Every structure is written in C-alpha cells, then in structure tokens.
Structure 1
Amino acid sequence: MELDIVSLSRLQFAITALYHFLFVPLTLGLSIILAIMETVYVMTGRVIWRDMTQFWGVLFGINFAMGVATGVVMEFQFGMNWSYYSHYVGDIFGAPLALEGLMAFFLEATFVGLFFFGWDKLSRVGHLTTTWAVAAGSNFSALWILIANGWMQNPVGAVFNPQTMRMEVTDFYAVLTNPVAQAKFVHTVSAGYVTAAVFVLGVSAWYLLKGQHRDLAKRSMTVAASFGLAAALSVVVLGDESGYLSGEHQKMKLAAIEGMWETQPAPAAFTLIGFPDQAARETHYAIHIPGLMGLIGTRSLDTVIPGINDMVKLAKVRIAQGIKAYDALQQIRAAGSTGKISPELRAAFEDNGNQLGYALLLKRYVDDPRQATPEQIDKAAWDTVPQVAPLFWLFRLMVGISMFLILLMGTFFVLSARRALDRHRWLLKVALFAIPLPWIAAEAGWLVAEFGRQPWVVEGILPTAAAVSSLGIKTLLFSIACFVLIYTVLLVIEMKLLLKTIRKGPASEHSPAEGAPPRRAAAIPVPLTSLE
C-alpha cells in the first residue's frame, strides 16, 4: 500500500470498522436469543429460563457497551478524514445516521437499562416487552446504518446540483427502499444471528465438557441450534439475493469476485477455485461449475455477465461522457455569477451528468480532466478494477464457513431433537472451536463489500481519492496508532470480561421443575419440547 493520504485514510477507517464489527453481530443475535429465552420463561414459568436470560444478558451487556464505545468514533471520522465526502453527499448520507441516533440508539439504550434493573420492578410481561424492545432497537439501529451503506453501493433517490456542487435528495423513499440496502440489512442481521447462535452453542458445549450447569447448557444449545440453523440457511438465501443485486448494480464487483476477465456466453460458469493474476489479467488453473454463476448473478440462463475487460472498455466510454459533463459543469459555474446559462449548456450537462464521477477518476493523474491524454484515460479506466485476488478468496472463505456452519447447526438441531446433545464429546469440542468462525466470515463479507466497491466511495458518483480530507501523513499515522492501541485495549477488556463471566457461570441455577406450573409440553413448539 502506498503511503499517501488516501491509503492511510482508508486504512484508518477499515481498522475502526473491522474492530467495531467484532461487537455488532453478537449484539444483534444475542438480543433476539434473550427475547426468545425470556418468552419461554413467561410462557412456562420455569425459573431456569429466567436464569438463562439473565446469564446470557450479562454477556450481551458487556458486548453492547464495547460496541457503543467503538461505534461512536466512526461517525466522527466522516468529518475528520472524509470531509469532502461529507460535503458532497451529506444531504443523503447524514439523514439515515441521524435517524439511527434518534430512533434506534436511544430506544435501545433506554430499554437496556430497564432490562438489567427491571427484573424485580416490572411484571413478567412488562419485562418481556422491554427485552423485545432491546432486540428491536438493536436491529433497527443496523437498518439505518445499512441504508446509508447501501446508498453508497447503489446511489438512488438523489441528483447532483451543479449550483451547490453537492448530491441532493430527490426521493427519500427511494433511499429507504433501496433494494441493495434492504438485501444488505437482512443478510447482515442474519449473519449476526448465526454469530450469536454459534457463541451460545460453543459456550454451552464448554459447560457440558466440564460437566457444569448442564440444564442451562442443554436448553441454551437447543435454542442456539434451532435459531442458528434457520439463520444460517437464511444467510445463504439472502447472500444469493446480494449476488443477484451485484449483477444488476455492481457488475465490476461481481466479475472481480469471480476472477472473470473475459465475458462468457450465457449462462456464465462459477469459478470454484483458481488463482487470479491481476498483472497478467488472467485467472490461472480455474475449475468451473458450468452455468452456476449465470443463475446466481442473473437468475436466468440467457443473460450475459460482462467480464472485467469489457467493463474496462465501458469505463472508457463513461470517462469520455464524464469529461463532457465536467466541461459543461465548468461553463455552468463560470456563467452562474451572471445567471446566463443557455438551455444547450444545461442539456449538455444533463445528458452526461450521470457520468461526472468517471471524469473525477482522472483527477489522480491531471488537475483538469479535459486535458487528459489517452494514456491517462486508459489508466483511469483500469482503476475501476478492484483488487481481484483478495475479493476472490475472501468470498470463497465466507461461503465455505457458511456451509460448515449450516452443517454444524443442523447436526446439533438433530441431536437436540434426540436429546443427545452430550453424547458425542468430539462434537462438543467442534462446537467450542467453531466460535471464531462466524466472525471471520462476517469480517470477510464486509471486506468483499467494501473492496469490491473500489475505487468508488459512492458507486459511480465519487471516487475514493476525491473524498478525503487534507490531512498530513504524520497526523494520520499517529491517529491510526492511537486507534489500534485503544481498540486493542477495549478488545482485551471485553475478552477478559466475557471469559470471567463464562467461567463464573449463572448467578443461580434452578432445577427445571422449580417454580414451574403444571407441565405444559404442548404449549412450547418443537424443538423446545426437548428441553423440559
């Protein structure tokens, strides 16, 4: 990586985002699991379910606090490191972030307090309502963040105003219902559910291996396996939707993920494995599954998926159109002071304005895109190709882990139905050592999403290189070092608190029958009947 302002600004935001996302998935998933457990407690009156809710609630609280601490900083970074981005698209991007703070974060934070301190002050139903409100707030918070991020992937409902030199909202409903944002939301929260399910499964497996808190562990594993299997299957289905939308809105990303340099006849084959070579513009030793990529990317057998080389040719055409838009924009700005802007000049900008961002790619090589040489245009066109090898392998890592987790959850779902969760110690060890896997898959997924969008900070609108603040390299290096140090300390604190709480176990654990009403097996749907 070159030691320049753009690279260092990207590195800093990537570090803080990846650290923050260590906490987010567990918060999203544990909030729902807590609500499920407390619902069973209210339905059955069995005190062990209250103990389970309180125990896993402590782990949720630790993780929630660390997530808040690491997440607040990220929003300030838009003003610190990405000031031109904030100016250029703040009219659109700022609204979801503000709504997230006003509607979701305050809802979540308020009810978190009631969750921890309201056990003896609220009725059972009242406290259950509080727990579901915490879950709703956590997921609602993710919705607004992903609406903002989805707009960066597929900018809809906004146009560029040549007078203000900013993107402005024209249809906020289109921003909210952006299909890319909605697909990212359901895919991301489902990944969070899997993360929490694997965490609960692994910790409970550790208790069974140690012979501790067996009743709590078995019930927790059954909830985790049932919830996790449904979530893991939904991750795959919703990931397919994300692939289809990439085929519609981010064709270059899709081609890079596949290492597909040349356009193939429809339906395109899926590259199971290969070795992308960006310098040679070729993927070596590729093994293909015929027709699969066409189904994933287009859901048809006759729609062509363009390869990287053809997408670069299209980028050259768009750069040429962008130069025309840039020329018209400069004339509009020059004539703006006089108020004399001809209809022909407005029409010239409107005809090519959607490609203005492609002209800005040339700013890396020349101050005035209109003066760009053919060689500079060719370089700018190739800049639209992200780093293929990282995308190729990260995507396959994510998919491979997802398949394994479906198998893991399915296995424990069957064992829970047979009341044989502790029968195979080697499977308990597998569940324990699988705890890090959903985090690895989630981080890989974010890297695929963000690497694949490069060189754009907003797809087709604003290049990353044009969005940064004018900061010094020493300032960025110092701030990166500070963030790494502080976030690492926070991560170590979280790990120690989680491990201490897990080793301690629940504050109290009752037998299944203690405080229970008459047996009501039919009131609890399968597979929860296996917990009684």
Structure 2
Amino acid sequence: MDALDLARWQFAITTVYHFFFVPITIGLSGIVAGFHVAWVRGHNPQMYKLTKFFGKLFVINFALGLVTGIVQEFQFGMNWSDYSRFVGDIFGAPLAFEALLTFFLESTFLGLWIFGWGRIPEKLHALTMCLVHLGTVMSAFFILSANSFMQNPVGFTFNPKTNRAELTDFVAVLTNKVQLVTFPHVIFAAYMTAGAVVMGVALWHLRRPNLGDNASMYRKATRVGAVVTLVASLGVMISGDLQGKIMTEVQPMKMAAAEGIYESQSHAPFSVLSIGSLDGTKATRIIEVPGLLSFLGHGDFNAEVKGINPLRDEAKAKFTGGKFTSDSSTSYTPNIPTTYWTFRFMMGFGFAGTAASLLVLWATRKNAGEKALAPRWWHWVAVATPFLPLLGNSFGWIFTEMGRQPWIVNGLMTVQHAVSPSVSSGEVLFSMIVYTLLYAALAVVEVKLFLKYVRMGAEAVPEPGHEPEHDDTDAPLAYAY
C-alpha cells in the first residue's frame, strides 16, 4: 500500500478506537451528575454509593479517552499536512475553542470533583460534575462543527493566491445545517450508550447472590440506565430521521450508496437484507420495505432518490480538473459494501439496544420478583447490553466518513490531495504500528481497570460520614479516590 492508503488506515484505527470512549464519557458524566445531585437533595446512601461507583468508572474512561484523543490532532500535521494547510483557517477555530475552553472546563472541574469529597460544600461539589458534563457536551459541539464543515462546507471563501479556504463567517460554521442535526444525534447516542453501560453493569450485579440491602440499589440503577437508554434511543431515531434528510440534500451520493441503488428511483425501497455481488450491481433484496428509502431521504414515500450512476456522472462533469479534486479516472463512488452494511449495522445495533432496555424494564418492574432475572441468559444480556449502542455509534461514524469518499472536504478537496507529500509509506507504516501497539496496551489497561472496579461494585464504597478527615490543609493532595 502507498502512503495514502496507510494514512487512511492509521486514521481509521485511531479514530474508531478513540470513539469507543467518547460517547461513554459524555453520557456517563451526565448520569453521575444526576446521581450526585440526587444524593445532595435527599442524602440517600444508595445515591452516594452509585455516584462514587459509576464516577470511578467514568474517570477511568475519561483518562483513556483523553490519551487517545491527543493522537488525533498529531495526525493532521503528520499525515495530512496538505489538508491542514487547506482548511486550517476554518478547522482550527472550533478545535481551538474545544481545547482552550471546553477541555479546560472538563479537566479543572473533574479535578475538583475527584479531590473535593469532604473538602468543599456538598452543593458546590455536585455542581462540579454538572460542569464537567457541560464541558463534554460543549466539546462535542465544537468537534462536530469542524466535522460538519467537512460534510457541508460553509462560512468560507477560497483564496486562489494562497490556495487555502479562509474563514469568513464563524457563526455559519457553528450553525451549519449538518451540525444542527448531527449534534443532537450524537449527544442522544452518547446518552444511550452510557445508559446501556449503567444498565448492564447494575444488571450484572443485580443477579449476584446475597446482595442484601444493595439489591434495591442495583435494581434502581438498572432501571435508571434502562430509562436513559430508552428515552435517548427515541431521540436518536428522531434526530437520525432529520439527519438522513439533510444528508440526502447535501450528500446525495451517500444516501444512494447506503442502499446500493445505481439508477434513480421513485418510491425507492430500503432493503433490510441483501445478497449478491459486493459492489451492489447484482443484488437480490431478501427483505425489502417499499418506499422507505424515499421517506428516509425526502419525507415522502414516492419521492425520487438519485442513483449512483447519474450522481457519479454529475460529479465527474463538475469537478474533473479542479486543483484539489481529481482527474477523469477518479471514481466519485464510495465503497458500496462498507456504506451499505455499516448503515444497517448502525441501525441494527441501535434497535437492539432499545429492545434490551424495554426487556430490562419489563423484567425489573415492581411485581416481577427475583425469579424474573433467574435464567442464565440474563447474564449474557447484562454483558452484551453496553456493546449494542457502542457498536452502533462506531458503525455510524464509519458510515458517515466512508460514505463521503472520495472527498475529505465535500466538493472541495479529495483525500488523495490531502495527504502529506513528504511522508513516505514506510514512515506512515512505522507510526501506525507504534500507535496500534500502544493502543493495544492501553486497551489491556482499560479493560483490566474497568472490570476490576465493576467487580468490586458499589458495596466497596464507604458510607457517607466515614470519609477520612482532611485536617492538614497544608498537606499535598494525593490521588486516593
């Protein structure tokens, strides 16, 4: 493989890996803040235990997300310098806000939350985690505004003297139509993922024997996680429907590739399952819903959805010969199998998460009794539940980015013009191997730490009033969380 292919693989590996932690961080910070506020309001020992328990899991996840996120920005200068030079004036603005404003908000108040137990007033202490959650949401907003520019570039002008896109309207970048539907979609998906983590972990504990007084606590946490997952999944569906219509407007090729339709169709169907050639040219739809793709794209079951072939011809006529586009031999069609299946995996895992939350709510209702969770298969429900929306998130981002190909900035710059010209394939391969091995080591650390504290459970946390005294104000702070 050449440097371009290796650079794409490296960015894909690091991005997908990093995004395992992002939705959990966003959603879990909100749930922990909710538990903490509930404890401050009622001083219920169960809420205190849940705050400390899931707060510890949040901190572990936050640390790994931070470490893996830093690598993302390194790659813009390492492997994608021509891209950075072209859109740096625009892309750098939201990233600067994310780093200088939201990250400092998150890290500062997370530190206060970790070391503030018994040191600062209860209400102020609970507020720190609320501000951490606000920081994670704001961070997502600025990152997504940068990504939305890549999907639908706005608020800029092209300077032919410098061959750069220059920012003219920062507000337009922040209020990009793609951003306005993508942001709530991602936030709802984050709540759904974190809710599934809380539901799965608490459900696993709830099935353990001899819980005593902790049984009601884990049941409460299980239901809280299930409710958050269910409500968030409804938000994901509504925002996803809006996002599909905006996507069809600004990136019609992505919608056509998602179904693998090569010619324009009215009343276009959506296939739940298909077999045939990988490129979709010879496909047999096994399960098909007539008109659904037209509705997803236009809100009308009879609307026309443009096909891959006419869209490809339009793109060749419009963009061939451009400075940052390509020559006539370049295909403007994304990888059809990838876009087709990731679109379905995204929805499939999401719907499975919704179904799991409904099943758990039914099994933990007041009159269900302990026997409802007795069957062995509930153990696997508890283990699998956190992965369902997490995988849905990952496949959703793969679809979003792969469906945009060959563009790195839609309609402005193709990927082949974005790679660093002076970086050799050997250099990219070396850095990719190093990062992949490093990430593998971090994965081992993350999994071991996470599972260790999951197994310890909330019962290992001291009751309020039994915290160590902090009389020596001059003593250095130590991380003894």
Scaled by the length of structure 2, the TM-score of the pair is 0.91
Alpha-carbon RMSD across the aligned residues, in angstroms, is 2.0
Provide the residue aligned with 1:501 in structure 2: 453
AA aligned opposite 1:411: L
Counterpart-to-counterpart distance in 2, 1:275 and 1:238: 29
- Aligned pair 1:456/2:407, yes or no? yes
CA deviations over 1:356-407 (Å, ceiling 9, x no partner): 64xx211xxxxxxxxxxxxxx2x32xx1100101111111111111112111
Q: What amino acid sits opposite 1:403 in the alignment?
A: F
Matching of residue 62 in structure 1 with residue 60 in structure 2: yes
Conserved? CA contact 2:53–2:461, under 8 Å: no
Unaligned runs of 5+ in 1: 327-355, 363-376, 516-532
Distance in 2 separating the partners of 1:81 and 1:100: 22
Amino acid at match of 1:26: I
Quote the Cα distance in structure 1 between the aligned partners of 2:286 and 2:167: 44
Residues 219 and 279 (structure 1), Cα distance of their counterparts in 2 relative to 1, 3 Å cut:
closer
Q: Which residue of 1 aligns with 2:418?
A: 467
Contact 1:408–1:431 at 8 Å: present in 2 too? no
Partner of residue 44 from structure 1, selected from 30, 33, 42: 42
Of 276-285 and 21-30, deviating more is 276-285
How far apart are the structure 2 equivalents of 1:425 and 1:459? 52
Equivalent of residue 425 in structure 1, options 374, 379, 386: 374
Question: What does 1:512-523 correspond to in 2, within 5 Å?
Answer: none
Task: Report how far residue 439 of structure 1 moved.
Answer: 1.9
**Cα distance in structure 1, aligned partners of 2:67 and 2:287:** 45
- Measured in 2, the distance between the counterparts of 1:486 and 1:421 equals 46
The equivalent residue for 1:389 is 337
Amino acid at match of 1:477: L
Q: CA deviation at 1:415?
A: 4.1
Tell whether the 8 Å contact from 1:259 to 1:276 is kept in structure 2 after alignment.
Answer: no
Aligned counterparts of 2:109 and 2:149: Cα–Cα separation in 1: 29
- Per mean C-alpha deviation after superposition, the further-off stretch among 423-432 and 397-406 is 423-432
CA distance in 1: counterparts of 2:364 and 2:33, whole angstroms: 20
1:5 alignment partner, one of 3, 9, 12: 3
| Offset of residue 168 of structure 1 | 0.8
Distance 1:302 1:503 in 2: 53
Q: Given that residues 271 and 285 in structure 2 are in contact (C-alpha distance below 8 angstroms), is that contact kept between their aligned partners in structure 1? A: no
Q: Which amino acid aligns with 2:45?
A: V
1:271 is displaced (CA, Å) by: 2.0
Letter in 2 for 1:389: P
What residue number does 1:128 align with? 126
Q: 1:491 aligns with which of 419, 435, 443?
A: 443
Q: How many residues align?
A: 458
Q: What amino acid sits opposite 1:175 in the alignment?
A: V
Q: Provide the C-alpha distance between the structure 2 equivalents of 1:421 and 1:25, rounded to a whole number of angstroms.
A: 33
8 A Cα contact 2:352 2:388, kept in partner:
no
Aligned equivalents of 1:282 and 1:245: distance in 2?
Answer: 28
**Aligned residue type for 1:436:** F
Whole-angstrom distance in 2 between the partners of 1:207 and 1:509: 18
Contact 2:199/2:222 (<8 A) preserved:
yes
Equivalence map 1:77-476=2 (5 Å): 77-211=75-209, 212=211, 213-265=214-266, 267-275=267-275, 277=277, 281-285=281-285, 287-319=287-319, 323=321, 326=322, 357=324, 360-362=325-327, 377=328, 379-380=329-330, 383-418=331-366, 420=368, 422=370, 423-426=372-375, 428-429=378-379, 430-469=381-420, 470-476=422-428
Separation of aligned partners in 2, 1:447 and 1:464: 16
Supply the distance in 2 between the matched residues of 1:421 and 1:220 (Cα, whole angstroms).
Answer: 16
Task: Determine helix, strand or coil for the equivalent of 1:210.
Answer: coil
Deviation at 1:93, TM superposition (A): 0.4
Whether 1:479 and 2:431 are equivalent positions in the alignment is yes
Distance (Å, rounded) in 2 between the aligned partners of 1:204 and 1:153: 39
Q: 1:138 to 1:419 in 2, by over 3 A?
A: farther
User: Which structure has the larger Rg over C-alpha atoms?
Assistant: 1
Structure 2 vs 1, CA of residues 251 and 146 (structure 1 numbering), >3 Å: closer, same or farther?
same
Query: For structure 1, which segment, 484-493 or 220-229, has the greater mean C-alpha deviation from structure 2 after superposition?
Result: 220-229
In structure 1, give the amino acid aligned to 2:269: A
**Structure 2, gaps ≥5 residues long:** 467-481
* 1:508 to partner: Cα distance: 3.0
Render the CA deviation track for 1:17-41: whole Å, top value 9, x for unaligned.
1111111111111101101111211
Cα pair 2:110 2:132 within 8 Å, conserved: yes
Secondary structure at the counterpart of residue 7 of structure 1: helix
Distance in 1 between residues matched to 2:81 and 2:291, nearest whole Å:
44
Listed one character per residue, the Cα deviations across residues 403-434 of structure 1 (whole Å, up to 9, x for unaligned) are 12111112323444436474323463213332
Give the Cα–Cα distance (whole angstroms) in 2 for the partners of residues 424 and 509 of structure 1: 28
CA offsets, 1:466-492, max 9 Å, x none?
000121111111111100100110111
Amino acid corresponding to residue 332 of structure 2 in structure 1: T
Cα deviation for residue 203 of structure 1 reads 1.1
Q: Match of 1:167, SS?
A: strand
Native 8 Å contact 1:277 1:284 kept in 2: no
Q: Distance in 2 between the 1:503 and 1:6 partners?
A: 44
State, as a whole percentage, how many aligned pairs show the same letter: 40
Query: Partners of 2:368 and 2:129 in 1: how far apart?
Result: 30
- Deviation track 1:110-158 (CA, whole Å, cap 9, x = no partner) reads 0101111112122221111111001111111111111111110111111
- Tell me, what secondary structure is at the counterpart of 1:453? coil
Mapped to 2, the partners of 1:415 and 1:14 lie a distance apart of: 39
In the TM superposition, residue 278 of structure 1 has moved relative to its aligned partner by 5.6
Q: Is the 8 A contact 1:391 1:451 kept in 2?
A: yes
Shift of 1:182: 2.4
CA contact (8 A) 2:346 2:395 kept: yes
